[in-house]
Structure 1
Amino acid sequence: MSTRLFYEHESDSRIMFKKDKKELEGWTESLEYINQELDFLIDIENLMLNDANLYAQLLAMRRENTLKSGAMYRYETAMRNAKECDDMACDAFYLNNHEKHRNLYLEHLRNYRALKGKVLSKILLNAKR
């Protein structure tokens, strides 16, 4: 049985707030999972690849992931103030802020996937030798 997220009697701004909050929960969950994957990729790099440059990139990505996670958690806290909006300018501010965080998350995800692909392709290349 699924839980209903939106109701007909809710205002558009309330629906947008709930949608944005749910989306943010997905981003933070994804960043937590990426952190776990990075720990595995760093261990794999240490055991199998021994590539100092790749190791440094993985450490930098883990640091960046930690920073992005922190930013998302701070945004989640700040987002509570969006409930208090009572005009279009306030709504627009929070909408623009949400879009900024979405773009930061998506850019980070692209960068992470590229690095993960690099690690996996290097593992395959080593396995073929």
Structure 2
Amino acid sequence: MTFASKSLLLAAVFTAVLSGGLWHRLDSTRHDNQTLRRELQTEQQARHTAEWLLHGQEQTMQVFSAIRAANRAARLADETEHHDAKEKITTAITGDNCSTRPVPAVAADRLRELEKRTRAIGGDPARN
């Protein structure tokens, strides 16, 4: 075997080893790339799910906030109406002799009965 053929054989072996190493490295990189893509897809799905859940929670909080505001406004309107009615009645009976007499027991019982039925039908706002 001559020096040229030995050099050529050595270059061929070196090229084969180098090509094999590069081929292995390329295959390993492809496998890692596929794994990273799957992990990225899983993380993106988890993020989308979390965003969807958070959006649902935000909408729920907005609904409850609107309900709370409506209840507060209704309570304030009821209080205002009650106060206005009380003032109108007080003004209307001022100076009338019926304002100094006690309410008959039968009338008071009837009013209590009406109040109980009204609260039972519409719910007791004092309990809310």
Give me the TM-score of the superposition, normalised by structure 1: 0.32
Larger Rg: 2
| Structure 2 length-normalised TM | 0.32
* Greater length-normalized contact order (CA 8 Å, ≥ 6 residues apart): 1
